[in-house]
Amino acid sequence: MEIAGRVFIVTGGASGLGEGTARMLAAAGAKVVVADVQADKGQALAQELGGAFVKCDVTQEADGQAAVAQAASMGKLM
């Protein structure tokens, strides 16, 4: 799978497995949207990775739509 230059949304991306996934994707050249309820950690990680942060509770449809909108603004979604 080609990762470089693609846009990925990582839910739960501010810590744990999500953070590890976001770091791996960014290291491979992806544009990463960190979607999480932990705003401070998520914003810091997104800034470090050169990505974007969206406060997202995956049980809320509007939050999911905001994450997708942010990702779409960063490039073509596959």
Give residue-wise pLDDT tens across range 47-74.
999 999 999 999 999 999 999 999 999 9
Q: Give residue 77's pLDDT band: very low, low, confident or very high (50, 70, 90).
A: confident
Cα–Cα distance between 2 and 34 in angstroms, integer?
19
pTM: 0.95
CB contact at 8 A, 67 and 30: no
Asked whether the predicted pLDDT for residue 4 surpasses 90, the reply is yes
Beta bridge partner(s), residue 52: 33
- Residue-wise DSSP of 21-44: HHHHHHHTT-EEEEEES-HHHHHH
Task: Output the pLDDT for position 65.
Answer: 98
Quick one: which H or E segment has residue 50?
none
